[in-house]
Structure 1
């Protein structure tokens, strides 16, 4: 297991380098010039040149990249072009909002997906199976932002059970935090729960037909023990790969759902940065998001290796 961890960590080094190059290159080649937005149409050529020099835009691209990587390695992602706020401070201020929304959505997706998938696999062809399959198809077809608008209209505006907009930090009020993330987390996790349910059902149906499951039942083991101790553990092996992808999807979808519920997370920060062509802010957000995805991928790789000994290096 230790060798697996070392191999996965070493494999991340070239990946992070490639991501840093692509992130810096693409954002630096965006059309337009941030100096034009700062100086305005009434600015003089001298003011324009002074702003470009202050922002470091007059330096060669390779030199700017080396300078950015050097500071990023120390945790300094630069300073915003427009409000002189440190990018790392702005990102870390918004990150807990997006992370909490993604985490709650992931818990909902896993719980609902596992329950629906197991229930459908235990009774293939039954009404429960057909309802779960229909619900999974329905869940994957609905855009999360549309589902979020529907939930807000019914449960926030109509019934007034939850707040329609805003975010309450968990440090302020646990109940307020849970109420503020409930609807956006359900809207975000619904499609992922559908994908997980389909994968769990498919894997469980195959596992339940194996000879060792029949042997366990013939020995008189209870159905609960057979399902959760023997069948589910082996069925989760292919599900882990889907789970890793779905968490990444949740993280990206959170940026959109935040706009529906007016939550000031990374999504709002990213959209504002794109509109202003705030290159350091865009680069910082992308780099942090990629780092989170890489950590999630590493965790799922290790979980996959734990569940499947064949995946471990000999």
Structure 2
């Protein structure tokens, strides 16, 4: 298992290099000039030239990339074109917010999805199974931002149980943090829980028909032990792959849900950077998101190896 982790971490280096080259190249092809966006129409030609030289935009793209890469390997991703804020500092400030939202929504998706899938699999073609199937279909069809607005209208505006907008850090107040993250996490985790429920139901139905499950029941083991220890453990092997994809989807969906609840995470930072064409910020965001996806894939490989010994590297 340690060998697998080392291999994945080493593979991250060329991946980030390729992503940085592509991101740097694509951002250089943007039609708008950052200098024109900063100075506007009132700037003189001398001001344009001075600002372009200060930002290093007079250099060829290869020279600019080599200079940026040299700073990036030292942890310096540059400075924002518009507010002179360090890109690394801005990302580190917003990253815990997005990670909190993603992790809580993933927990909700797993708990709800696995519970619904098990309930449906234990009684195939029953009312519970049909309700779970219909609920999963609606869950995957409803956009998370629309569901977020619905939650705000009901639980924040009418009932006033949760705040409608904003985010409270966990270090400041765990209770306020939980209240601020509950509604966006539910809105974000709904569609993922639906996908997980469908996969768990399908896998559990197949596992419960295996001979070793019948043998476990014949030995007098309790239904809870048979389901949780034997059936669910084997059924979770294909579910892990779906869970990995869903966590990646949650990371992308968090960027949209943050706008609905006015949460200052990576989503707000990304949309602002794209609107302003803040090239250093865009490059830093892309690298961070790619790194997060690779970490999720690594965690998935480790969990898959723990559940399925045959998948472990020799």
Aligned to 1:189: 189
Q: Which runs of 5+ in 2 are unaligned?
A: none
TM (normalized to structure 2)? 0.97
Aligned to 2:228: 228
Secondary structure (helix, strand or coil) at the match of 2:263 reads coil
Per-residue deviation at 1:91?
A: 1.0
Aligned to 2:302: 302
TM (normalized to structure 1)? 0.97
Distance (whole Å) between structure 2 residues aligned to residue 211 and residue 14 of structure 1: 46
Distance (whole Å) between structure 2 residues aligned to residue 19 and residue 108 of structure 1: 31
Aligned to 1:255: 255
Larger CA deviation: 252-261 vs 58-67: 58-67
Per-residue deviation at 1:269?
A: 1.1
Aligned to 1:275: 275
Distance (whole Å) between structure 2 residues aligned to residue 280 and residue 7 of structure 1: 29
Aligned to 2:88: 88
Per-residue deviation at 1:46?
A: 1.9
Aligned to 1:155: 155
Secondary structure (helix, strand or coil) at the match of 2:41 reads coil
Distance (whole Å) between structure 2 residues aligned to residue 177 and residue 224 of structure 1: 34
Aligned to 2:245: 245
Aligned to 1:31: 31
Per-residue deviation at 1:75?
A: 1.1
Distance (whole Å) between structure 1 residues aligned to residue 57 and residue 212 of structure 2: 65
Larger CA deviation: 265-274 vs 16-25: 16-25
Q: Residues 176-223 of structure 1, C-alpha deviation per residue, up to 9 Å, x if partnerless?
A: 111111111000000000001111111111111111111111111111
Distance (whole Å) between structure 2 residues aligned to residue 121 and residue 291 of structure 1: 36
RMSD: 1.1
Distance (whole Å) between structure 2 residues aligned to residue 274 and residue 68 of structure 1: 19
Q: Write the mapping of 1:71-82 to structure 2, written as runs, cut at 5 A.
A: 71-82=71-82
Distance (whole Å) between structure 2 residues aligned to residue 188 and residue 66 of structure 1: 39
Per-residue deviation at 1:3?
A: 2.7
Structure 1 stretches (4+) deviating beyond 6 angstroms?
none
Q: Write the mapping of 1:1-314 to structure 2, written as runs, cut at 5 A.
A: 1-314=1-314
Secondary structure (helix, strand or coil) at the match of 1:64 reads helix
Distance (whole Å) between structure 2 residues aligned to residue 2 and residue 39 of structure 1: 52
Distance (whole Å) between structure 1 residues aligned to residue 8 and residue 306 of structure 2: 14
Secondary structure (helix, strand or coil) at the match of 1:83 reads coil
Secondary structure (helix, strand or coil) at the match of 1:41 reads helix
Distance (whole Å) between structure 1 residues aligned to residue 235 and residue 12 of structure 2: 28
Larger CA deviation: 68-77 vs 130-139: 68-77
Distance (whole Å) between structure 1 residues aligned to residue 299 and residue 222 of structure 2: 32
Larger CA deviation: 67-76 vs 150-159: 67-76
Secondary structure (helix, strand or coil) at the match of 1:108 reads helix
Distance (whole Å) between structure 2 residues aligned to residue 212 and residue 61 of structure 1: 63
